[in-house]
Structure 1
């Protein structure tokens, strides 16, 4: 039977089921038993129980000549007593052991056996060798393991359902974009009101947390007035606080950087820093250097100085930003010149 594949997005698995039978036959006083028995000796049928439809038994011949073998040997077979199918394809494993479980001989074979027939070995083991090995207890242990591979099953593979994707950001976004009737504080900027939630603002910003923790005017009035940040920037700040969603970095990266610094939202500040440095050019270098200096951002400052010490230096000095920096922050001009000099020295 060919393995079954997929159909209409469903998956099927073809497998061969195996059934394992184990049986142990213990013969005490083996040497005496061997002298007093003749012909075929059969074990009790196994597995026991009337409900079992497949049954086996072991056939032991003390004199192998009766099983077309050497008269100085013993024969050992397994017989299929009953099976609804009339035959079984099986792997047989026989192990002879002494009373302490020490193996004497182990043999394995694979064969298809029909009902009322057997399969095994005519000359399984020498009688003299076997009698010697079972000393001094004189007990023979015959272990049989039968593995039947008989049932081919096609099963539909059940797919474990996947959980729905996280909706946390989407759900929190409704608190920013919706009516926000459950807000407990208002952010007031240039006449625009932004309803918000103290618990969320406090969790995301240490500045808001300190503000609401103490009996400040904002806490008493449940209103935070901001007069140094434009409404679109506050809206973007709140959106990030609620959802981690970044927006408008192309147009307000510098303004958002300042807002993130003021309200201590380090993740937003980091995003803004990376965006500003990715977009760094000879036209924006001076402005960016002043921003880094103003906010004590050593990482940003180091990056800009390295940029300015390269081949763009001549172009930068012609920009309005450089002229403004020379007027307002002359120490930055000195730092830039030192960085350029250091770069030139390292190239020699």
Structure 2
């Protein structure tokens, strides 16, 4: 029956524009009607979990070998397609954490690939079970983004040295730490035009390859000297992304005899962050200043300062998207201690959105009264007197509307 129907249809297709009268009406309708549209999709959020147990043999010896701020790394282990290691600080990371054991999880940056992960550190007892009183869960159990620039994350103060030495968990000068890690892949959407999809096109990963190229240093042809450090890069990539680099490296004003290009008035870590954006089109995790030790509040202030410098650098090199990303990040970091500095920055570099965010913050509650007493606000009058006149106009208008 089916073969006869197919033969009839084939004959119609080759000899006539109309279906034959011998074809039943329902069959004719089935042949002529287009197939019903079908589609399917999926949201895919995959993860992989694993653990690495680090045994410290000869604890007292590690204390004598590695002083405050010095770390000893574990062997590398692979999870979620990335290589990881644990950095163990026998006498704490930073002066303020002396007398403590610090533990950090480190992503091997040689891959040039970022990763998102949850992790925790646990002291293990004699049976290999976690000790509840000595468990550190990073970021409250939230997901931490590890960037490929070598920044590690972890616990400043896992356990006091004397507490460990008096505990039953240090046996024969040995103790064990377990790091539990869950690595998350990027959330992706899978669209299916039909029930069977023969070709799956993955999302672009060009930024990962370029980030790996920058991290590995292969094929670099230009060197920059920044605050006493040298940084290598690829001139054609820089020129393609920044009109300033184009003029500096290939324009008529280029200095052909220079062995390297000197960058004035910029920190090395700010320039590295700028290069990270040039290659990957994304903001990196802000590096810590290794020469200083910060508590959590100081660490936040330091990162805000770096983002401010990054905004200035973006404006200097004509990187408009980086400038907007920095501006957006600063909008969420405004407080009474920095609003004067941020407002001056917004005025000097034409950041209207950031300027409006500062004004909105100052007009809320008692923020203006608290901000006026800060040094940053005092300098604002000298650097940008027009801002104060504009702010005065706003406060006057607000007071008038309240009276009405």
Alignment TM-score, normalising by the size of structure 1: 0.53
Could you say which residue in structure 2 is the equivalent of 1:50? Answer: none
Could you say which residue in structure 1 is the equivalent of 2:341? Answer: 287
2:212 corresponds to which of 174, 191, 206: 174
Cα distance change on mapping 1:175 and 1:242 into 2, 3 Å: same
Cα distance change on mapping 1:330 and 1:18 into 2, 3 Å: farther
Could you say which residue in structure 2 is the equivalent of 1:136? Answer: none
2:372 corresponds to which of 317, 322, 327: 317
Once structures 1 and 2 are overlaid, which stretch shifts more, 265-274 or 314-323?
Answer: 314-323
Aligned residue for 1:143, secondary structure, equals: coil
Aligned residue for 1:264, secondary structure, equals: coil
| Unaligned residue ranges in structure 1 (runs of 5+) | 1-16, 24-46, 48-100, 102-141, 149-156
Q: CA deviation at 1:337?
A: 1.6
Q: CA deviation at 1:176?
A: 1.2
Could you say which residue in structure 2 is the equivalent of 1:207? Answer: 244
1:273-306 Cα distance to aligned partner (Å, 9 max, x none)? 0111122222221111111122233332233223
**In proportion to residue count, which structure has more strand?**
1
Q: Say if 1:21 and 1:145, in contact at 8 Å, map to a contact too.
A: no
Q: Which has the larger radius of gyration?
A: 1
Aligned residue for 2:283, secondary structure, equals: coil
Are 2:358 and 1:304 aligned? yes
Aligned residue for 2:245, secondary structure, equals: helix
Number of positions where the alignment pairs a residue of Structure 1 with one of Structure 2: 209
Cα distance change on mapping 1:159 and 1:19 into 2, 3 Å: farther
Q: Say if 1:185 and 1:195, in contact at 8 Å, map to a contact too.
A: yes
1:266 corresponds to which of 320, 328, 331: 320
Aligned residue for 2:22, secondary structure, equals: strand
| Unaligned residue ranges in structure 2 (runs of 5+) | 12-17, 28-194, 287-299
Alignment TM-score, normalising by the size of structure 2: 0.46
1:143 corresponds to which of 17, 21, 25: 21
Structure 2: distance between partners of 1:338 and 1:20: 84
Q: Say if 1:211 and 1:219, in contact at 8 Å, map to a contact too.
A: no
Q: CA deviation at 1:255?
A: 0.9
Displaced runs of 4+ in structure 1, greater than 4 A?
A: none
Structure 2: distance between partners of 1:19 and 1:345: 89
Q: CA deviation at 1:323?
A: 2.2
